[in-house]
Amino acid sequence: MSFSPQPQNVRFTYSLGKSGENKVTILADYAVQSEEIEVEKALEAKKRAEDILKKTKEKVSDRDFALAQAELRRAVMELHVANRRRRVRSSIPQK
C-alpha cells in the first residue's frame, strides 16, 4: 500500500487492516520509514536469526525460536523496503 501525502511519499507494509469511508486503520506490530532503515543492522539481524533457526529444537527454546522467526521476518522486510527505495531513487533523473 502506498499513501501519498504532500509533499513526500510514505510507504507502508502491513498485513492486517481495515478501510472504509476515507479512513484506513492499520494494525501493526512494527513500522519503520524507509529512510530510517539501516541495511547493515538488518543484515546482521537476518544472519543472527538464521543462525538460531538452523539449530535443532533441542538446543533452542520455543520462545527463542519464535523470537528468531520474528526477527528474521522483520529483517527481510526491512531489506526488501530498502532495496525498493534504492531502485526508486536510482530511477529518478538527477538534476
Quote the number of domains for the chain: 1
Please, which residues have CB within 8 angstroms of residue 94's CB and are 6 or more apart in sequence? none
Q: Is the pLDDT of residue 12 over 70?
A: no
Query: N- to C-terminal Cα distance for the chain?
Result: 29
Q: Which residue segment(s) compose the domain that 40 sits in?
A: 2-91
Mean pLDDT of the residues in the chain? 78
Higher pLDDT, 39 or 1: 39
* Predicted TM-score (pTM) of this structure: 0.64
> Which pLDDT tens digit goes with each residue over 47-60?
999 999 988 767 88
